Amino acid sequence: MRATVMYGAGDVRVETVPDARLTEPTDALLRVTSACICGSDLWPYQSMEKSSSGRRMGHEFIGVVEDVGADVRTVRKGDLVVAPFAWSDGTCEFCRQGLQTSCLHGGFWGGELDGGQGEAVRVPQADGTLVRLPVGRDDALMTSLLTLSDVMGTGHHAARAAKVGPGRIVAVVGDGAVGLCGVIAARRLGAERIILLGRHPDRIALAREFGATEIVSERGEAAVERVIELTGGLGAHSVLECVGQGPSTETALRIARAGGAVGRVGLPQDAAIPASLSTFFKNVTIAGGPAPARAYIEELLPDVLDGRIQPGRVFDRVTELDGVPDGYRAMNAREAIKVMIRF
């Protein structure tokens, strides 16, 4: 079969790899029908050291079940299913708490295992991991359904971690696909105002349609001052950090008001958390981490199915598998917000 392999910074190839196949009785074999490139795939794209064996890529995908192991009960051949960006057994201590990214028997796609940016995937722990979709594979909702594997769940997780709710002023740091989904999530959870910190006109326009009420395009100190000014000198109740870099994290922490909360879902690129002293004295809650996307699929799916939310609009480019290397280039160059792969 063919799949995407990264060999180092800027070096993404689509090549022939060993066919995915069942190895455990709890596995399912999935024929991928749609997938995408994640903002987090751009970190290795910018910095990965050269590797002779390469790293299989992709962790957001929808597919048709082609075969299942003897112990699989919840999905069967022919089902259309979505896979969250981590697999999980659904039964351990952490899965029962809804924290499937910490599953005791779970893991993450790609690396030496199959990734979503390929024709087929061996899915471990199929019963805990996969969720059946009540639509056909060419349904118009496919783009929005695909975001349930990661970005929409991640934006929702940021909003939950930041305690978004009615009456709260929310600030979203980052205008990438996750930040835009964070805007959707904040509106869905009843935020009173949503301030987006971002600078790209196309993304800002989409954010406004998703429910952003104010835009702050300054950076650094000026961005902090602007948000403080917009919030009557107090700061935001809830801040969604959707980038993960040092400066964006510092901005997020500094614009939180006393007693507020910051939900961090951008993969941290620095070892230390900035603004330690000021957040301490403001009693700011700092929460977040990898979203348990699996836990949120059932909650968000009805809203996607009836069109109440349209997170699929973050996709602004579609490619076939052979176009994936150029998709990485386009996302890295900020020519595309998010690239969808159709098989």
CA–CA separation, 247 and 222 (whole Å): 12
Binding positions for Zn ion, 141-160, rule CB under 5 A: none
Closer to Zn ion at the Cβ: 89 or 114?
89
Residues 91-150 touching Zn ion, rule: CB under 5 A, are 92, 95, 103
> Nearest approach, Cβ of 105 to Zn ion (angstroms)?
6
Stretch that binds Zn ion, among 71-79, 82-90, 212-220, 284-292 (CB under 5 A): 82-90
Letters for 202-221 (x = contact with Zn ion by CB under 5 A, - = none) are --------------------
Left if phi > 0, otherwise alpha if psi is -120 to 50, otherwise beta: which for 299?
alpha
Residue of 41, 89, 119, 150 interacting with Zn ion (CB under 5 A): 89
Cα 166 from Cα 187, distance rounded (Å): 9
- CB 26 → Zn ion: shortest distance, Å? 12
CA-to-CA separations, 298 to 95, 138, 301, in angstroms, rounded: 14, 21, 5
Torsion from C-alpha of 286, 172, 267, 36, nearest 10 degrees: 150
Given a contact cutoff of 8 angstroms between Cβ atoms, the answer to whether 184 and 164 are in contact is: no
Selected range binding Zn ion among 16-24, 80-88, 302-310, 312-320, rule: CB under 5 A: 80-88
Find how far residue 141's CA is from the centre of its chain: 18
Q: Is residue 6 within 8 Å of 323, Cβ to Cβ?
A: no
Q: Whole-number minimum distance, CB 124 to Zn ion, in Å?
A: 11
CA distance 101 to 222: 36
Contact yes or no for 300/309 (Cβ under 8 A): yes
CA distance linking residue 158 with residue 21, whole number of Å? 35
Report CA-CA distances (Å) from 312 to 206, 337, 339.
Answer: 11, 11, 11
Residue (41 or 89) nearer to Zn ion, CB: 89
Q: Which amino acid is at 87?
A: W
Q: Is the Cβ of residue 104 or residue 258 nearer to Zn ion in the bound state?
A: 104
> Nearer to Zn ion by C-beta: 92 or 186?
92
Number of residues engaging Zn ion in binding (CB under 5 A): 5
In whole angstroms, the minimum distance from the beta carbon of 86 to Zn ion comes to: 10
17-76 residues in contact with Zn ion (CB under 5 A) are none
Residue 174 has which token pair? 């980052």
Backbone angles phi, psi at 339, to 5 degrees: -105, 130
- In the complex, least distance from residue 230 CB atom to Zn ion, rounded to whole angstroms: 42
Question: Between residues 98 and 111, which has the closer beta carbon with respect to Zn ion?
Answer: 98
Pick 109 or 315: Cβ nearer Zn ion: 109
Closer residue to Zn ion, CB minimum distance, 85 or 328 = 85
> By CB under 5 A, is residue 86 in contact with Zn ion?
no
Minimum distance from residue 59 beta carbon to Zn ion (Å):
17
The correct pick among 26, 34, 40, 88 for binding Zn ion (CB under 5 A) is 88
Please state the closest distance from residue 24 (CB atom) to Zn ion, in A. Answer: 15
264 or 294, CB closer to Zn ion?
A: 294
Min dist. Cβ of residue 328 to Zn ion (A): 31
Cα dihedral sign, 319-315-325-61: negative
Instruction: Give the angle 15-21-24 at the CA atoms, nearest 5°.
Output: 140
Residue with tokens 């961090």, as numbered in its chain: 264
Instruction: State the residues that interact with Zn ion by CB under 5 A.
Output: 88-89, 92, 95, 103
